[in-house]
């Protein structure tokens, strides 16, 4: 029998009232098993952070229920939630959220102390965990002296220090370069598997798909069947088969984010100046997605994304 860690049942979240209501999450259900790594992808504004915040008891669903190890989170009183968040969840964020005045070890030990460990024990536990994550030589550094990858490893240590059941990560690789981001996510996966902890990651990052046991696609607040999604072979973007530009080659159908990518793939205009221009544009947009991350204040709707891509690729 498998053990369910997280059971999200028909959860919705609406923000605002009347004409200005936003249905950020609409009737989402998801069950995560112990030790399972789930990646939720989707365009900006599709509800990923809202859903993750509800899973971590940072936000109450408007309707539906969320159970963690059989206990209903939404039924708990506000007063109990901080303690649950501290002990049962580990949070990892895009911008690491380390306390700049504390050393690496203090950042991690503090969270163990808040959960009731004595100073010495918390310090020892933090030292052991940070050493395991390859940061034994950085224990007394301030966060400003660390690289992005090192900061994110400190954040992982902090997320793990209280032995949480569930680790929740929001765009954890957005501020890391592609290789480091992937390595760190592999490290997180290894720890989760070894220790039987469940992990839910929300991200735009195509490169971390392979570290997940399961990839789900959120679109406009609801899960979309992943089988309808395909990867554009030119720019590596996830595209919706129902709406994408497609082409047949060697008896197989391929799907593209734009006509530009399709032409590129088929070699049309491939030798002319436009072909080169498109190649460069696809390369730049791929790198921009890899390196920029998507901040909350840069939200784009699915329609805007489509418009921008169309303009970029000259669909």
Ligand X SMILES: Nc1ncnc2c1ncn2[C@@H]1O[C@H](COP(=O)(O)OP(=O)(O)OP(=O)(O)O)[C@@H](O)[C@H]1O
**Residues found near ligand X in the complex (CB under 6 A):** 15-16, 22, 24, 42, 44-50, 294, 296, 299
DSSP string, 261-309: HHHHHHTTTTTSHHHHHHHHHHHHHHHHHHHH---GGG---HHHHHHHH
80 binds, among ligand X, Mg ion, none (CB under 5 to 8 A by kind): none
In angstroms, the CA 67 to CA 6 distance is 6
Burial of residue 150, with CB atoms counted within 10 A of its CB: 0-12 exposed, 13-18 middle, 19 or more buried: buried
48/105 with CB nearer Mg ion = 48
16/314 with CB nearer ligand X = 16
Quote the least distance from Cβ 59 to ligand X, whole Å.
Answer: 8
Is 49 a binder of Mg ion (CB under 5 A)? yes
Quote the least distance from Cβ 94 to Mg ion, whole Å.
Answer: 8
Quote the least distance from Cβ 292 to ligand X, whole Å.
Answer: 12
Alpha helix stretches (DSSP H) within the chain: 48-55, 81-88, 104-114, 119-132, 148-160, 178-195, 259-266, 273-292, 302-313
Quote the least distance from Cβ 48 to Mg ion, whole Å.
Answer: 5
In angstroms, the CA 106 to CA 99 distance is 9
DSSP 163: -
49/103 with CB nearer Mg ion = 49
Contact call for residues 92 and 167 (beta carbons, < 8 A)? yes
56 binds, among ligand X, Mg ion, none (CB under 5 to 8 A by kind): none
Q: What pairing do the DSSP bridges indicate for beta strands 37-41 and 214-219?
A: parallel
Contact call for residues 218 and 46 (beta carbons, < 8 A)? yes
24/28 with CB nearer ligand X = 24
Residue of this chain nearest to Mg ion (CB atom)? 49
Binding mask 7-46 for Mg ion (x = CB under 5 A): ----------------------------------------
Quote the least distance from Cβ 170 to Mg ion, whole Å.
Answer: 6
24 binds, among ligand X, Mg ion, none (CB under 5 to 8 A by kind): ligand X
294 binds, among Mg ion, ligand X, none (CB under 5 to 8 A by kind): ligand X
DSSP 165: S
Quote the least distance from Cβ 69 to ligand X, whole Å.
Answer: 25
288 binds, among ligand X, Mg ion, none (CB under 5 to 8 A by kind): none
Look up residue 162 and give its two tokens.
Answer: 């209280």
Task: For Cα atoms 298, 25, 50, give the angle at the middle one, nearest 5 degrees.
Answer: 50
Among 47-55, 61-69, 141-149, 220-228, the segment contacting Mg ion (CB under 5 A):
47-55
């Amino acid at each position: 029998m498998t053990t369910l860690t997280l059971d999200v049942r028909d959860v919705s979240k609406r923000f605002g009232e009347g004409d200005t209501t936003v249905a950020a999450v609409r009737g989402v259900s998801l069950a995560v098993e112990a030790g399972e790594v789930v990646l939720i992808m989707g365009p900006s504004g599709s509800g990923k952070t809202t859903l993750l915040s509800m899973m971590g008891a940072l936000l109450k669903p408007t309707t539906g229920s969320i159970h963690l190890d059989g206990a209903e989170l939404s039924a708990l009183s506000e007063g109990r939630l901080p303690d649950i968040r501290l002990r049962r969840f580990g949070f990892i964020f895009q911008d690491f959220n380390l306390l700049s005045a504390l050393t690496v070890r203090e950042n991690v030990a503090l969270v163990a102390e808040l959960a009731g460990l004595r100073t010495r024990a918390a310090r020892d536990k933090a030292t052991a965990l940070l050493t395991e994550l390859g940061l034994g030589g950085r224990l007394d550094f301030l966060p400003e002296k660390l690289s992005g990858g090192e900061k994110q490893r400190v954040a992982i240590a902090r997320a793990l220090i209280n032995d949480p059941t569930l680790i929740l990560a929001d765009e954890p690789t957005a501020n890391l370069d592609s290789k480091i981001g992937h390595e760190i996510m592999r490290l997180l996966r290894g720890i989760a598997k070894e220790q039987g902890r469940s992990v839910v990651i929300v991200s735009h990052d195509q490169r971390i798909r392979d570290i997940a046991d399961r990839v789900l696609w959120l679109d406009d607040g609801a899960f979309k069947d992943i089988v309808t999604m395909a990867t554009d072979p030119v720019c590596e973007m996830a595209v919706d088969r129902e709406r994408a530009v497609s082409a047949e080659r060697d008896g197989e159908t391929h799907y593209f984010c734009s006509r530009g990518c399709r032409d590129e793939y088929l070699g049309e205009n491939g030798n002319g100046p436009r072909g080169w221009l498109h190649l460069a544009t696809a390369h730049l947009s791929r790198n921009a997605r890899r390196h920029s991350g998507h901040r909350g204040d840069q939200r784009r709707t699915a329609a805007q994304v489509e418009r921008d891509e169309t303009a970029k690729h000259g669909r």
